[in-house]
Amino acid sequence: MVERPRSQCAGLGPRRAARGGHLWSLGCFLDQFQHDRDPAFPTRLVISRPGVRAWEGGRGRASDAAGRACGRDFCVGRPASSRVGMSAYGHKESAGPEGEAARGEHPTATVIGRSISFRMGSQILSSLINVAGMVVLGNYLAADGYGQYAFYYALVPLIASLSDLGVGVIITKEIARTPELGPRYLGDALLIKGAVALAMLLVVTVTVPLVLDGPHALLVWLVTVTALIDLTQDVGIWVFRAHDRQDLEALLLLLSQIAWVGGILLCVALKGHLTFALASATIAFLLRFAVGSLLVRRILYRPVYSPDWDRLKRLVAEGLPFGLAIFAVVVYGRAGVLLLKGLASNADVAYFNIGYMLSQPLGFISSAFSVSVFPSLARSARLGPESVQPVLRSAVKFQFLAALPLSVGLFLLSRRVVRLLLHGGSFQQAGGALMVLSLALTFIFLNLMSRYVLAALDQQRAYLRAIVAGLLVNVALGVALIHRFGYLGACVGLLGGEIAVLIMCQRTIGRHLPVAILFREAARPLAAALGMGGVVFLMRDANLALVTVVGGGVYISLLILLKVLSDEELRVMRGVYVSFRLPGSGWLTRTSNRP
């Protein structure tokens, strides 16, 4: 692993210790989790302020001689005497394959694997904390109170989807491509995010009290503040993702979750009102945002504020289609419930919602991989389709490997899963909803991947068009089928919408990864999943835990038998395992080095 030079970590000195030596020490400790491919962070990186302004959008080309000088200054290619203006904490990193040799022992694939591990682990722990919080709140607030809490909290992703104008993913992409411009992009992100946040808070503060009473207006105001600092809206998270520091994102996620559940427990102990329950999320998110900002300054760099109106407009113009697409995704996910509420019964709403909630959260597996591969894919996109295809092909293969067995297993065991979780006969029809929605799982995984792939390829508008098309198909099928088939009509509408999104996304992605390769990568994982399905079907009446374990074992065995994973992919998996220095790492290293 990378060690920070002793001069930077060992001797803080009394002045630095007085200014926050404990946090600096924490930064040194966290640096031990960074990937070996990254060089140690320099203490300071000299930046030419005129060059910062001259660099045109961070795309690797300069608008004039000053811009070219900026590029050389950032890469520390000019004599120290010629560097003027200012200095900022910085992280030097090559954005292209020509710098791969300088990245250290871990290749890109291992870095992506480590990032996925951090994200998956933190997401699983976060989900468990969510369940614990839900149980505590449900028992404390009862059905009516928890219903109000769920309603207001559901507004958070809706408001958050537009609170950065879609700029977050663009900032991550640009820093990943040109990390030497990270301080300036961080400054731009804070300026844009701050302006949008102030505008939204001003609108809510002025207008909401005019239409709602005091307590309800306060709840909406709290929800707005929470949405503005949601995990997806945290500028520090954008920067950490760009530098492949998913370990820090995982740390911050768990910090906010622990603070949130602690606030919930305190609220229950003090018998607090619903307002205090919502405020616990606000305070937890503020804590995460503050710690993340400090870590960015200590471990990476400080922001450089060099506002250029044309550059800021370009960032917003590139990000807005993505922001609108995410907003449409939020609406898309609620279309079935809204249509059933107006065209069917409350029972149909319940059946559909249970099936939806038991299938959709599995998408975090796809998101964990897609977010982790995004920085590397964004760098490769600058070098042409030949550089993109290997990364994209591996990403597609991962989606099939993860989604197909889940889809087959849920389809066969859907009714048993519902009976296990919801006792009583009134929810049995929800098993039918889960069965239909399980067929959409593979399309959902691929579409979640397409979200970040298209952003990495500078095709945010293509993703917006795909989501709008999927929303229209979803609504059209729902309106046509719900009158006759109830909740099953809404399920078919969602399935049709996901297929429409995939077709639209593939029209653009197909230039880099033809459909023939897509089917080729799906063939053997599908065969393994169907083989697993045969065993699960024969054991369908056995203990559910036993069926799950045996089915998983059969699937893994068939993957090995069919040689789904190449020797290179197996080496990458070993490399990821060894990189964490887990038990058996030494043995794996010795065996892999044998001739």
Residues β-bridged to residue 88: 45
Count of Cβ atoms closer than 10 Å to residue 587 Cβ = 10
What does 251-285 look like in DSSP terms, one character per residue? HHHHHHHHHHHHHHHHHHHTT--HHHHHHHHHHHH
**Angle at the Cα of 522 from the Cα atoms of 521 and 527, rounded to 5 degrees:** 125
Closest CA to 274 of 148, 132, 143: 148
- Verify that 390 and 505 share a domain, yes or no: yes
The answer to whether 591 touches 574, Cβ cutoff 8 Å, is no
Q: Which of 265, 286, 306 is the last residue of a domain?
A: 306
Contact 513, 377 (CB under 8 A): no
Q: Please give the pLDDT value at position 424.
A: 61
Residues 278 and 333 both lie in one domain: no
Q: Is 60 exceeded by the pLDDT of residue 543?
A: yes
Q: How confident is the model at residue 586 (pLDDT cuts 50, 70, 90)?
A: confident
Picking from 93, 127, 149, the residue at the C-terminal end of a domain is 93
Give pLDDT, residue 380: 86
Query: What is the rounded CA–CA span in Å between residue 352 and residue 6?
Result: 58
Angle subtended at Cα 426 by Cα 135 and Cα 478, rounded to the nearest 5 degrees: 95
Give yes or no for a contact between 467 and 409, defined as CB atoms under 8 angstroms apart: no
Of the CA atoms within 13 Å of residue 460, those in its CB half-sphere come to: 22
Q: What's residue 56's pLDDT?
A: 41
Provide the whole-model pTM. Answer: 0.75
Q: What is the pLDDT of residue 181?
A: 93
The verdict on 502 and 354 lying in the same domain is: yes
Mean per-residue pLDDT of the chain: 80
Q: Which range among 223-232, 332-341, 546-555 shows the weakest confidence by mean pLDDT? A: 332-341
Asked whether the predicted pLDDT for residue 103 surpasses 80, the reply is: no
pLDDT of residue 250: 92
- Residue 52 reports pLDDT greater than 60: no
Same domain, 342 and 369: yes
Mean pLDDT of 282-301: 94
Assigned domain for 357 exists: yes
Q: Return the percentage of the chain with pLDDT > 70, whole number.
A: 80
Q: Answer with the residue of higher pLDDT: 260 or 59.
A: 260
CA dihedral 574, 576, 579, 580 (to 10 degrees): -110
Residue 13, pLDDT > 50, answer no
> Could you tell me if 83 and 111 lie in one domain?
no
More confident call, 473 vs 376:
473
pLDDT greater than 50 at residue 49 = no
The larger pLDDT score, comparing residue 345 to residue 453, is at 453
Higher pLDDT, residue 571 or 81? 571
pLDDT in tens, 484-539: 999 999 999 999 999 999 999 999 998 888 889 999 999 999 999 999 999 999 99
Q: Which of 23-37, 73-87, 109-123, 183-197 has the highest mean pLDDT?
A: 183-197
Average pLDDT over residues 119-148: 81
Asked if the structure places residue 555 within a domain, the reply is: no
pLDDT > 90 fraction of the chain, expressed in percent and rounded = 45
Q: Is residue 197, in this structure, part of any structural domain at all?
A: yes
Residue 38 pLDDT exceeds 70: no
Same domain, 53 and 153: no
pLDDT tens, residue by residue, 89-102: 343 444 343 343 33
**422-477 pLDDT per residue, tens:** 766 667 888 899 999 999 999 999 999 999 999 999 999 999 999 999 999 999 99
Residue 499 is part of which domain span?
308-537
Q: What is the mean pLDDT of residues 340-346?
A: 85
Greater model confidence, 579 or 533:
533
Q: Which pLDDT does position 14 carry in this prediction?
A: 44
- Greatest mean pLDDT among 68-77, 282-291, 354-363 lies in 282-291
Range with the poorest average pLDDT among 47-51, 181-185, 266-270, 430-434:
47-51
- Whether residues 144 and 208 share a domain: the answer is yes
Q: Are residues 178 and 319 in the same domain?
A: no
According to the model, what pLDDT value does residue 106 have? Answer: 54
Kindly state whether residues 318 and 397 are assigned to the same domain: yes
- Domain count across the chain: 3
| DSSP label at residue 46 | E
Coil/strand/helix, residue 88: strand
Across 182-207, average pLDDT: 94
Which of 244, 276, 306 terminates a domain? The answer is 306
